[in-house]
Structure 1
Amino acid sequence: MIREKLNISKPDTARVNLLIELGKYYLNKPGELTNDLDSALLFNRQARGLGSSLMYNAGIGECIILESRIYREKGDKPKAMELTQSALQFAIQHRLLKETADAYLAFCDFYGIENNDLAERIKYTERAIRLYERGGFKKEEAGALKSLGDYYHLKADNSKALKLLEQSLAVYQAIHFKEVQGVYDLLGYLYARTGNDVLSLKYGLMAVKTAREVRDTSMQLCTIYNRLAITYNGLKKYDQAYLYYQKALDVALRYKETNAIQQIKFNQIILLMGIHKPQQSLATLIDVVKKYPPKDNTRLTITALSLFAKIYMDMGQLPKAKRFVDSLLYYYPDFGKEFGYAPFVNEPIINYYFLSSQFAKAYPYLKNNDSLARMRHNLTTIATNEFNWARTDSALGKPVSALLHYKKYKITSDSIKDLDLKKQLSILQFQFDVDNKDRDILLLKQKGQLQQNRINNETVLRNVVIGGLVIVMIFAGLVYSRYNVKNKSNILLTIKQTKINNQNELLLKLLQEKEWLLKEIHHRVKNNLQIVISLLNTQSAYLENEVALDAIRNSQHRMQTMSLIHQKLYQSENLSTIDMAVYIRELVEYLSDSFGRDKNVIMNIKVSPVKLDVSQAVPLGLILNEAISNAIKYAFKGTTKGKIDIGLEPVGNNRYLLCVSDNGPGLPESFDLYNTGSLGMSLMQGLSQQLDGDFLLENEKGLRVCVTFKAMEF
């Protein structure tokens, strides 16, 4: 197409632009063949010569930038850098905004994606964006915003990255640019990184759909398929995940991209290991390493070593696992403390030392893994590490430390289960909404077709009337004919209306089933919590250690606090909010009964009418449980009388103040809130942060525990 235009073009600026496009085509042609790069250089020099004769400065600036990229592709980086600097000076000298911005982006190609190199990329890209915006080059601005979003994602600043990608998408949509599959792909990937699997799945599917619509068959399609597969794998939809991994692999094989083939194969192996197929995982791993050895790619090398070690340990073959663990120990000083590598390096080493009964050697790797996981708030790695720590302590005869780490493991794993449940419910809602949207589109199409039929009928009827003025007999015949047609149309309309009514009834039934399902979920959660409470009660009968008994009672109270919320939800018509006035009174009554009224403690409850979302009611209930339990147990030692005030009041601006106060002696002067071993205090602080609220202790005339938080809007 470009060559055809070139053959009929005149020696003007349009011909310069065609020659530049032809040079770019050969530069970006798959395969990086020497002949293609020579062709790109030839056409670019022709373009520069013609541009110089025409004094076409913008074209000359583009030619210098293109030549620098060709030499960089050839491997002559010094020459490429010299040309890029020359292009920047030329563009600045002739006040060419777009070409100046293009030169800044060309500088990015000379830097890597880590530490100082990444900072240089960000600096040059931000300069380019400002110039594109000044000159009104919207397409180039959107592309640079996308690149900058990708750089901030590599910097682990996901919120900034998401904001930049949303800006890029908005600019592309404003100019009706259709090839936005890359932006959708990055948005989906980042939402997966931030735990929002619904948006991750949504944007991943949009990326696939857009790529198909614009017929994108490039390596970008491989990345899109691979990331969508990762999202499905995280949602435990293994069939869809494996399908999209295979689609990604097909693209990578077509382009002979070895690194991509290795990474996708490794992802498939991780999936197979997750569904407990060690034999198939090992066979696949041996095959991929034999056909595509990682060579000098450190990340893929470490991934392969880690997978071999894990598979052999899963199969109980420790001697075979040892040589791969030894290799990981070799890499540990350089990569064991980098978050991107740490799980692949640390976890196999920890597991090997446990299985080979070398328990003490695991501690440095447990500490390092924990530090990195908490830095990135990676709940899965935190939970796995706490479990490994607990069983290592247990093996070394440290029951107190083992119990502490096991508690942390349970808390984290419960959080993961809650997140998984929310993900599954969100995905169900997402699929339900998609189905509804498809039905709405179908109904709109049907209505549009009916409207078009009406318009067509009216047009025909008008023509019949006009024709009837000429020939009365023909008019009478046509009127009779049209009457029959209209009668049939009415019958068809009645049939279609009946179908629409049936579909509406089906939608109503689906909505009722959804509400029933949610109530059933809350009912089962409440029953499961009650079973756990009963189990703990049974366990306590076999314990004589007062500390353990106290811990079990505290756990029972916390579970009852959550159970009461789920009971309220399934008994209520509203499945998303809790009436806090009723809930708090029932909770106080339960705690009073649990601890007994022998202390003659007076409970003053003053709660304003407020309904809260379940995501706020649960942490608020747990804070109340801890504060009231502590007051009843500790505030009135040595006395039989006391008073506890419980209040929940608005303080303006949609904010509420929850306070629990007693008239006991208060906390000792040496008490340090931020350096306490009390699980209750730590729990209240953590739950306050979950509410995005402020936690306060006042230690005058008794103890006053307060939390100020903002209620969610519905």
Structure 2
Amino acid sequence: MRKIFLVGFFLISTVGFAQIVLRNGFFQYKEVFVETDDFQTEYLEELEKALPAISKDSPLRLKVLNDLGYHYHTRNLNVALEYIEMGLEEAREKEDSYWEGNLMVSQGAILLRMEELKLAEYVLKEAILKIPESEAWLLYTNLGYVYERKGMLGDAFVYASKTLEIGENYGDTKAIAMAYSDMSNLFWKQGKIDAALNYGLKSIELFEKRGLNDLDYDFTLHLVGQYMVDLDRPKDAIEYFKQSVQIGERYGFYNNLSDTFIALANLKAKMGDFSEARKSGLEALRYAELLNNEFMIMRSYMALGKASNMAGDYEDAAVYLRTSIEKATTNFGDKFYLSLVYDELSKSYEGAKAYENALNTSKISSRLRGEVFTAEAEEKVAVLETQMQVAQKENTIKIQEAELSRQWVIQVFYLTLAGVLLFFLFLLYRVFLKKKKYSSLLEKKNEEKEFLLKEIHHRVKNNLETISSLLTLQIASIKNPDFQQIMEETYLRVQSMGMIHLRLYKKDNLKSVEMKEFFEGLGKFILETFDASDRIDFRIRMNTLELDVDVAIPIGLIVNELISNSLKYAFPRQKSGQICVQLDEKEGNLFLKVSDDGIGIMENSTTQGTGFGRELISLLTRQLDGKMTLANEAGTAFTFEFLLNKAA
């Protein structure tokens, strides 16, 4: 069954409570006492406020109605029954047998506490086929309560055993804890205090492991406190009662509060503190009347009567006890508690020297006890207890055998794993040796290749320097100015490529060029060549950026052409100015900008020089799959965009 319900509901406003919250049109519900106990007494009122906003078509509505009905039975039985009947009507309209079954279980629990034992038994048995076996433990728990109230303790023990079986089969901690709690109560009623305490403490341990302070944990604390009273351990009893009262007051468990104050009344009377005993008895009566539970009212009057007997107030005791019997009515099914009331009334009559009445009430008490504690019931409980102990021992043996088998399997597994690991390590070592040998060979070959590559760059650099020297000699002998200019431009281009190979030769990385340093060297060289270092401010605006040599050479040639053109045409008559180079990488693209603040390029102007420089720039731009943009404002600015991956 789902623990968190997310149900669509189209409302503009937001409604929020501790357990149920409407966020963004969806209800989020943390099931009370299943997923959370982080709330206070008003949790039922909060669920009531949320209910009208939940559509009848929503599966959450039936869940909330069931929770309201079940948990309201700890405060007001009539209100609880109203919610359950509303839920049953809606479940049957929708033909939802699952929720019909769950609501019938809650209905049975409420009818039981309203003293409708026959009707409760009928409803619970009708629900059996509607509930999945894994969730049937609450149904069997309440059936056990019905038979307990009827005084049929053997049958009650049968249903507690069924609850335990379901809990163990499905690993349900709550079901196991409930079964132990119910068994402890049944043992207590039979006077087997040691067995009762043993099962009660086992139940508390499981409830605390579960980590939720719910109704049943609260009641089990009360039970163990009662056992401590019978074992004459009042300090321990008071501690358990305090815990029970604290939980009961936080969540409004009126039935448990009434139970615990009844037990406190008995304890205080036993300790001789009759004033406190009377206060506790009246507090128990107050909660019982708030709950409108005749059974709890009857027991509260019995506790007041018992305390008065122990104080020697026999007349008051008789009044309380006769009132208790009146509350029980003729159809009262719990013969165990009825026998206790008649027993106390017999003591009152005896104390008041009304011996005939004492004898008659004593006979009634004995008859009722005889009907509860029959030999058949004793035998049934004893057989079931023996079967359960045998089953637990067999289960313990099976667990031990399984543990031994598991340990043997683990040992074999570890030995096998160790063998596999050793073999694997041996293989790894062999592979390591081969890889080491291969790596050494590769490293040697790589060193040889790097040496050869450096040598190539060195020779290319030397060849380019030789070409540059030849060009210098040729330029010096040329008389034609135009031809001389062409040769000078060629000289600069050769020098640009030579500078790249020089940097590759001098550094460890033979595949890439750091462009900022390259541009600085290139700009300085060109300015010196044109004798413009003093009048031109050359600036590089970029961070360090390394490019592959196949990209660096074309970009270097483009920048060389543009700087040379700026020096030749942008600053006539030895005019001063500024040239700026900027190269950035952004999102896989290269952005190059070469600008000057010279005279700019006039519109419709004819191409100066041979035009080879522009053709070269255009060719190199296409080579790098780029595009060029010219801006002619406050000088000249050439902007390029290259696809870096394509360029590389």
**TM-score, normalised on structure 2?**
0.47
Bigger fraction of residues in helix: 1
Query: Which is higher, the Rg of structure 1 or of structure 2?
Result: 2
Greater length-normalized contact order (CA 8 Å, ≥ 6 residues apart): 2
